[in-house]
Amino acid sequence: MSRNVTIVEIAKESGVSTATVSRVLSGSGPVSPKTKARVEEVVRKYGYCPNPLAQGLILRQSRTLGMIIPNITNPYFSTLVGIIERAAHEAHYSIILCITSFTATSHKSGGQETEEDYFQMILDKKVDGVIIAGGQIDLCEVSDSYKAALEKLAKAIPVVVIGQTLPDIPCCFVNKEHEKGMVIAVRYLASLGHCRIGFAGGEPGIIITESRLQTYRAVLEQLGLDTDPDLVSVSDYYLPDGYNAAKKLLELDRPVTAILAMNDNIAIGAIRAISDYFLSVPDDIALISCDQFMDGNFLTPRLTSLERHTERLALHVIRLLLSMIQGTQAPEPPDLYPDLIIRESSGKHL
């Protein structure tokens, strides 16, 4: 038998809600095997093929998610987007991506469109929920206007934020940073005999930079190693920044013997600078990246890096958002404890 039927009629004949029919059709959310079989029998009976637009109107859902990031060229954000988009697609959702071009410098100058404008734009798109990664949430000092806009957004739709927790704002906050990573990296270089360990990259005023620097300095002090302020060279997170930061460290009266790079971008820039000074990694300078972006096993030399499990983070975030939208139990937080992947760039004991 075949005729045009609606999801409401399917639900009525199955003796369930339209939301349950939607979960059966999309394969998302909990449905008992018995109920699923009953709905599927009615669907087969009428040869029903759902109209996504009509289904969304009935359930007051667009099956569209928003994602707001500051920069797609940063490998961290592009990796997040790729994993989240694939997981959303598997759950029959699409993604609207907003790139704010936010930086701490642009924020101070007021020269960029504010993130608050993007919050309103994403509301206008009638998305079912939104993921926010990076931007002003990463600043040590978050503005009152940002907090107010985020609160307005979170009261309208489910919101998951990758970053620091802001009290009294009804979002789900997921903090990916773990200070143990820096402890492991500094102690490992010290175990190889390094006493002057430089720190390269990162942007001042950003929580992740300030947190890693604080841990770096604390561990140096605990170990009785050199805490000379000139051993720190920060600017930003990209290849040119790594190059310039490494140059400053190499031009010190007492040069470093090892460098902790903020991430793989900084490490690659540092390797180029070290080579331009007719030195090599790891024979002259040991190098560790504090945040693995790409597969350092294919660089020359192979890059020792901290693996912070971005894939686990991304999958947890999208599953958390979907659980908020569908009213299901939130997933268990993943293990984001960083691992030091030891390769060639950190060298051997001095």
Intervals of CATH 1.10.260.40 along the chain? 7-59
Task: Give SS3 for 233.
Answer: strand
Within 60-103, where are the H helices? 75-90
pLDDT at residue number 1: 42
Instruction: Give span(s): CATH 3.40.50.2300, the chain.
Output: 64-175, 180-307
User: For residues 78 and 72, is the Cβ–Cβ distance under 8 A?
Assistant: yes
Task: For the domain made up of 64-175, give the CATH fold.
Answer: Rossmann fold (3.40.50)
- What are φ and ψ of residue 293, in 5° steps? -100, -55
Question: Cβ contacts of residue 325 below 8 Å, gap of 6+?
Answer: 61, 128, 129, 158
pTM exceeds 0.85: no
Torsion over CA: 305, 306, 312, 318 (sign): negative
Query: 112 Cβ partners below 8 Å, 6+ apart?
Result: 100, 101, 102, 103, 106
Report which DSSP code applies to 278: T
Superfamily of domain 7-59: lambda repressor-like DNA-binding domains (1.10.260.40)
Is 294 exposed, middle or buried, given 0-12, 13-18 or 19+ CB atoms closer than 10 A? middle
Domain 180-307 in this protein, CATH class:
alpha beta
**Whole-number Å distance between alpha carbons of 336 and 330:** 17
Provide CB contacts within 8 A for 336, sequence distance 6+: 176, 178, 308, 309, 312, 313
pLDDT tens track of the chain, all 350 residues? Answer: 445 677 788 888 889 888 788 778 776 667 888 888 888 888 888 777 765 545 554 445 678 999 999 999 889 999 999 999 999 999 999 999 999 887 666 566 554 458 888 999 998 988 999 999 999 999 999 999 999 999 999 999 999 999 999 999 999 999 988 889 999 999 999 999 999 999 999 999 999 999 999 999 999 999 999 999 999 999 889 999 999 999 999 999 998 999 999 999 999 999 999 999 999 999 999 999 999 987 788 889 999 999 999 999 999 999 999 999 988 899 999 999 999 999 999 999 87
CA–CA distances in Å: residue 182 to residues 84, 152, 198, 255? 27, 36, 13, 21
